[in-house]
């Protein structure tokens, strides 16, 4: 019987942070992706952008040092690194739509094997649509990465052959980072980048229900 340990949310954030190259301009989406800011390697200059108008965003402040005039798009208090700035919302969206971001890290409800993204609505009548800047980021950033749990709370895989939820963008996701594996989305389907110790390739394919090519 397989024995594996899932990545914690912080381990997953650290896994993503280690893949961000030096000099990159990066947007971190609301929710889980905001944790990535706390794990940026000290030897890299990575400039974080927040859609509510921050460039040069730092990690979360220490307890008691919060400044609620300085928050990210999820209304969480953040810090501003030396040389950082804040500006009008419209300028922030011009930055996002103009192709000035190298990477955006977003949460998702579903991602298809070829990189279609659904992350703003489940389509349920009781759900509150929350598109925010996701559509602008998905098509405006040079590379879109998704950070999410692989499975739903009811045991369904969020990586699918075709999204059943309303789409945010088509073929925009390049990588999927989860608590069990890292996957690449290609026009030919999924490719495995890594998986946690103790989990086999065959077991992962059984969970996902789709073929996953190896490097």
Report the Cα–Cα distance between both ends of the chain, in Å, rounded.
Answer: 26
Query: Which pLDDT value is given to residue 124?
Result: 79
In the structure, what pLDDT confidence band is assigned to residue 74 with cuts at 50, 70 and 90?
confident
The model's pTM is: 0.94
How much is the average pLDDT of 180-200? 97
Which residues are annotated as catalytic? 51
Strands (E), the chain: 25-28, 47-50, 54-57, 80-86, 103-106, 110-112, 117-118, 143-147, 159-160, 173-177, 181-186, 189-195, 212-213
Query: Which pLDDT value is given to residue 194?
Result: 98
DSSP 8-state code for residue 93? H
Q: pLDDT of 91-111, one tens digit each?
A: 999 999 999 999 999 999 999
Partner residues linked to 106 by β-bridges:
146
Q: What ranges do the domains of the chain cover?
A: 9-153+161-179
CATH class for domain 9-153+161-179?
A: alpha beta
Query: Which pLDDT value is given to residue 205?
Result: 98
Q: pLDDT of 110-164, one tens digit each?
A: 999 999 999 998 877 777 767 788 999 999 999 999 999 999 999 999 999 999 9
Q: Is the pLDDT of residue 1 over 70?
A: no
């Amino acid at each position: 019987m397989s024995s594996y340990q899932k990545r914690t949310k912080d381990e997953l954030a650290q896994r993503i942070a280690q893949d961000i190259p030096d000099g990159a301009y990066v947007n971190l989406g609301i929710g889980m992706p905001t944790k990535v800011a706390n794990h940026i390697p000290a030897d890299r200059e990575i400039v974080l952008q927040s859609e509510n108008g921050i460039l040069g965003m730092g990690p979360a402040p220490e307890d008691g040092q919060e400044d609620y005039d300085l928050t990210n798009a999820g209304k969480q208090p953040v810090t501003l690194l030396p040389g950082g700035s804040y500006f009008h919302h419209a300028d922030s969206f011009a930055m996002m739509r103009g192709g000035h971001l190298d990477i955006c890290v977003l949460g998702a409800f579903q991602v298809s094997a070829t990189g279609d993204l659904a992350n703003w609505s489940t389509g349920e009548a009781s759900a509150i649509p929350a598109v925010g800047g996701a559509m602008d980021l998905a098509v405006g950033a040079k590379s879109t990465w998704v950070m999410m749990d692989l499975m739903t709370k009811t045991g369904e895989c969020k990586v699918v052959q075709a999204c059943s939820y309303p789409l945010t963008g088509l073929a925009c996701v390049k990588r999927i980072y989860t608590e069990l594996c890292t996957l690449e989305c290609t026009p030919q389907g999924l490719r495995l980048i890594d998986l946690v110790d103790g989990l086999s390739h065959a077991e992962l394919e059984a969970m996902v229900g789709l073929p996953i090519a190896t490097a």
